[in-house]
Amino acid sequence: MNVLISKMMLYLFEASNIEEFFRLPTNYCELPTHLAKGASIHSPAEKSDENNPGLPRIRVLSPDAERNEMNASQYVAVSCLILLIQPLCGLVSAELAESAELTQSAGSAQSAEQHQQAGQPNIIFMMADDQGWGGTSVQMHPDVADSRSKIFRTPNLESLSSEGMRFSQAYAPASVCAPTRLSILNGQSPAANHWTKVASGLRSLRNPKMWPPKQVRRIDPKDVTFAELLQSSGYRTAHYGKWHISGGGPGKHGFDEHDGDIGNEYAERFKDPNPVDIFGMCERAEKFMAESRDAGKPFYIQLSWHALHASSNALKETTEKYRNLRGRQSRFAAITEDLDTGVGRILESVDKLDLRKNTWVIYTSDNGSGSSQVLAGGKGSLWEGGIRVPMIVRGPGVEANSWCHTPVVLSDMYPTFCEWAGIELPEKAVEQVEGGSIVSLLNDPDKGQVTRARKELYFHFPNYQTSDGPHSAIIADEYKLIHFWETGDSRLFNLASDIQEKKDLAAEKKDLVEDLEARLKKYLEDVDAHMAEPNPKYDPNVATQTGQRRGGRGAGGRGMGGRGGQGNGRRGGRRNRRSSQ
């Protein structure tokens, strides 16, 4: 037999080549087909077989150029041989496919294990919309029984909290949604971002004592987001759900996969059996997890849930459970439970894909809501009810069912994510980021510390949304000062002993008030915060119309505050996007 045929036979039965032999689009197994179809014989006149002069050579595609020519008699002989073995091709190919699948799976698992050992964990960040500190059935403070809801049922969050750490004093950077979302992404406060309210609301104001500033209303393209840093460090990144900060959408700011530049209007489209896209987001997230695992790459997934918006879209079955509750409360209870079901599905996906050991899970909310039976104020105010939010973290090494009482703010997530991923912040990010990593708190909630550029926490709301009017706040140690710009008055509270902010200490601690006011004003100057300005045409004899809700116990009222976002019942649309928070 000619050397070529011998080589081909050897090639056929070599374990290293058999897969390629059977899988090439045009290979030796297809020779009989070529004959049956009357395949032409390429026989350039200038080329003939050296061993058999006069016989044309046949050229076929093969795995190796060295094997791709033979004369006509050899071609027939090989074809007959292959007719005998061709029935085996399908069987061998199937076995090879299965083998390749197992090899790929093993390789993915090995790659996943390698990135785990390299210290790059997976991160899943879940953020509800308008869910207050007491808006779940998880107790958020061990000494405050009413820091949980007795109406809402969130068993999956209860499970998550039993496996992780609860932060009893976690804050949203803003008391409304979009500024918080931007602050998380770029690590800066809303005051520094010049975005403190989704829209200024200037059109609805009539004879205000002060004019609120205009809002930037978009992420700055020059900002370095943590998603971009994770992406450049090898992470696959995804953002599902509400974006609401413009700038071209998530894809322009570090996210490989996303739902686009969408806001509140998007939630209305999704009803039973996929209320406000909760379960659709779960499906996309699980697929992304699986793809990342199989690719051997760490991932970051942000689930910016649309719930609790469009609460009337809750599952009918869930809504029926709460039919005895009054009015809107039944809808909020239903959508809260549906959201919790979504959280449960995400946690199930993590376990199903065997990712728990190397995956951090964070659950929180974008702002308060006034739903708490304990906290004063609500959405649009800087009282505790407007900015204190639920926060639960589960991850490698975190003690189960543990607590942390150190104040944290969601802008702390930026440096935290980067520390988990082993990323050293570039110079530009160092100058930009105001938050500090909470990793040491997760390792030891009693001795851990958060190192920020400034020790205090600052909040700025120079707008009208509640009867408090424009106001700002500072938290330093256990004290919190709220300054009201219309009147120039400040109120001081000891949050350690007065979480409800009932006892104003300003009169008895004047030195502390003066000190905190000075620190607050200096901070606002340092970040060039946009301020409310006196209205030169203000007429004290004419009623002021602001379209506001009731506030906390501030300059304009002493009630417990409005229901905030959970009571809006707004619908989507262009007009609504201007006023939605």
Dump pLDDT digits (tens) for 108-120. 444 445 444 457 9
pLDDT of 218 over the 70 cut: yes
Q: For residue 94, what pLDDT band results from cuts at 50, 70 and 90?
A: very low
Classify 471-579 by CATH class. alpha beta
Average pLDDT on 394-398 reads 97
Q: What is the pLDDT of residues 278-335, one digit of tens each?
A: 999 999 999 999 999 999 999 999 999 999 999 999 999 999 999 999 888 999 999 9
**Measured CA angle at 66 (ends 65, 69), to 5 deg:** 85
Closest C-alpha to 60, from 30, 83, 80: 30
Beta-bridged to residue 492, according to DSSP, are 481
Annotated domain spans of the chain: 3-108, 120-199+215-451, 471-579
- The pLDDT of residue 74 is 54
* pLDDT value for 552: 53
Start-to-end CA distance of the chain, whole Å, equals 82
Strand partners, 466: 549
The pLDDT, as a whole number, for residue 60 is 41
Task: Return the pLDDT at 573.
Answer: 30
Which DSSP category does 40 fall into? P
| For residues 502-522, average pLDDT | 98
pLDDT band at 277 (very low <50, low <70, confident <90, very high): very high
**Which residues, in sequence order, are bridge partners of residue 484?**
471
CB contact at 8 A, 210 and 485: yes
Count Cα atoms within 13 angstroms, Cβ side, for 401: 4
pLDDT over 70 percentage in the chain: 73
Question: What is the per-residue pLDDT for 73?
Answer: 53
Is the per-residue pLDDT at 428 higher than 50? yes
CATH number of 120-199+215-451, picked from 3.30.1380.20, 3.30.365.10, 3.40.720.10, 3.30.2270.10: 3.40.720.10
> From residue 228, how far is each of 184, 218, 327 by CA, in Å?
13, 17, 44
Cα 554 from Cα 490, distance rounded (Å)? 9
CA distance 275 to 106: 37
479-489 mean pLDDT: 97
Query: Across 485-534, where does the E strand assignment appear?
Result: 490-494, 533-534
**Residue 167 DSSP one-character state:** E
Across the chain, mean pLDDT equals 82
More confident residue, 361 or 571: 361
